[in-house]
Amino acid sequence: MIDFEREKKKEDFLKKYNYDKFDKKLIAGDASFRKYQRILLDDNKTLVLMDAPPKFEKINPFISIAEYLLSLGFSAPKIFHYDIINGFMILEDLGNDTYTKLLEKNYNEEKLYSLATNVLIEVHKSVTKRNIPEFIPPFTHKRIINEVSLLHEWYFPLIQRKPTYASVHEYINIWNNLIKISIKFRSSLIFFDYHIDNLLLLIDRPGHKACGLLDFQDATFGPVTYDLMSLLEDARRNVNPEIVNKIKFKYLDSFPEIKKDDFETSWAIMSAQRHLRVLGTFARLKIRDNKNEYVRHIPRLWGYLDVSLKHPVLKELKTWLDKNLKPEIRI
């Protein structure tokens, strides 16, 4: 259904900056409420219009974090114009070469993942507790609990199960203990949705700048394992195990002060946290938003969880999941 009032606001925004006369082409969206259009300028130049309804999305974090990343020398899109009240932005167009599209064309997988890892290495060396901007929030206890709670709030209804109050209480207590362990690990800026849909190859830029960055408005300050795990344990595709091992080694080699055992412990906790959240998110997309295409990725998430749950630090969580979400009732 077309929101004519919002369309009018969008046209007024474009007209204010003299972009209303140019043709626009819809760009494939994501799991959010944001929409994107490519503005086709003269001389084959383009810009991107972001339409983020304020009822569902706030553009302030995107603006602040984009400007911060650009100041550090990373390839976030430049922001030319914005309307915070109505949720519109005109951005630099970083092109069509998303990692997703390149990998579908059999582009060198290891090169792409190595480049994305170089970005994380540079970020984690640059951004520390001492210099993290105030507008980037910490990955708080409350946020982590809210995210893992999506499992019983949305995934259980998807499989037509209802957890007991006692089982939910036990689940939350398990995570309270895991959070105490996770916060001891080295932290930095984490993009939060660092995966192939949000990364682009900018072949004409040098070094880590060749990796374009999108969808970072939910960035936070938390364990450095989070983004690397998100990249290599992608809900939408399987990464070659040899490349996963090489990338992990590459990262650890860049931070000799990080002990491998501590790294693997943090990895296991962040893996479980993210995948349980995403299980709930994909269930919510189907139930609430009628977006059915994400459910097909759920078996892959359980595959990642099965591996992470072998780590001793997740023993209690594994016991809880085996009891409350037996393999035969999972989808």
φ/ψ of 63, rounded to 5, equals -60, -50
Alpha-helix runs per DSSP H in the chain:
4-16, 60-71, 99-104, 109-126, 141-148, 150, 156-158, 165-182, 225-232, 241-254, 260-287, 298-308, 315-324
CA distance to 253, 264, 311, per residue, from 182 (Å): 21, 11, 14
pLDDT of residue 11: 95
82's enclosing H/E stretch is: strand 79-83
212's enclosing H/E stretch is: strand 211-213
Q: Which two tokens stand for residue 92?
A: 């630099």
With vertex at residue 329, the alpha carbon angle to CA 295 and CA 304, rounded to the nearest 5 degrees, is 55
Q: In angstroms, rounded to a whole number, what is the distance separating the alpha carbons of residues 166 and 39? A: 53
Tens-digit pLDDT profile for residues 163-217: 999 999 999 999 999 999 999 999 999 999 999 999 999 999 999 999 999 999 9
Q: Are 48 and 36 in contact (CB under 8 A)?
A: yes
**Residue 2 pLDDT exceeds 80:** no
pLDDT of residue 299: 97
Tens-digit pLDDT profile for residues 104-136: 999 999 999 999 999 999 999 999 999 999 999
DSSP state of 154: I
Q: In angstroms, rounded to a whole number, what is the distance separating the alpha carbons of residues 92 and 161? A: 46
**Residue 138 pLDDT exceeds 70:** yes
Please state, for a pLDDT cut of 70, what percent of the chain lies above it. 98
pLDDT of residue 1: 65
Please name each of the domains of the chain with its CATH number. Answer: 4-92 (3.30.200.20), 99-329 (3.90.1200.10)
How does the average pLDDT of the chain come out, rounded? Answer: 96
Tens-digit pLDDT profile for residues 72-104: 999 999 999 999 999 999 999 999 999 999 999
pLDDT of residue 29: 63
Nearest to 237 by CA among 191, 184, 199, 284: 199
φ/ψ of 304, rounded to 5, equals -65, -40
Nearest to 215 by CA among 21, 30, 22, 4: 30
Tens-digit pLDDT profile for residues 30-71: 656 889 999 999 988 999 999 999 988 899 999 999 999 999
Tens-digit pLDDT profile for residues 276-318: 999 999 999 999 999 999 999 999 999 999 999 999 999 999 9
Going by pLDDT thresholds of 50, 70 and 90, the confidence category of residue 331 is confident
Buried-state track 193-230, b at ≥16 Cβ within 10 A, e below 16: bbbbbbbbbbeeeeebbbbbbbbbbebbbbbbbbbbbb
